[in-house]
Structure 1
Amino acid sequence: MSPTPLPSGSVRPAAVVNEAIRALWPCEGTELTALERAEYERLLVEWATAVRAEIVEAA
């Protein structure tokens, strides 16, 4: 699972990113590989950006 950067200015909805985060853990108690951990960290940043964008859009 290689991290794929988004094009500049492109933001996926927070719910979509959340699903990608959840998909990294197919079952409870599993550990992430180093590559999956890097993807998780990238997704967290993307998720936070999406949440902020949705808040601004709602305001």
Structure 2
Amino acid sequence: MSPESVTPGSVRGAAEVNEQIRALWMRAGGSLSTQERTEYELLVIEWAAAIRGEVVKAA
């Protein structure tokens, strides 16, 4: 999933995605497997899109 493929309005809130990122790191014990790394990267892309969406709404 690239940032361009995220449809505006279809992303979850940044706080919700951030919670998932934190939970992933807790489950992984601070060291991500290859599969977890992929999940992390997708979550970070989603989080960034959510942040951008929240900034646009605020403006």
Could you say whether these structures have the same fold, taking a TM-score greater than 0.5 normalized by the shorter chain as the test? Answer: yes
Residue 8 of structure 1, CA deviation: 4.4
TM, length-normalised to structure 2: 0.78
RMSD of aligned alpha carbons: 2.0
Aligned residues with identical type, % of pairs: 58
Higher helix share: 2
TM, length-normalised to structure 1: 0.78
Residue 45 of structure 1, CA deviation: 0.4
Number of the residue aligned with 1:19: 19
Which 5+ residue runs of structure 2 have no aligned equivalent? 1-5
Tell me the alpha carbon deviations over residues 35-59 of structure 1, each in whole angstroms, 9 at most, x when there is no partner.
0000000000000000000000011
1:40 aligns with 2:46: no
Amino acid at match of 1:24: L
- The verdict on how the C-alpha distance between 1:8 and 1:56 changes in structure 2, with shifts beyond 3 A counting, is closer
**Would you say how many aligned residue pairs link Structure 1 and Structure 2?**
53
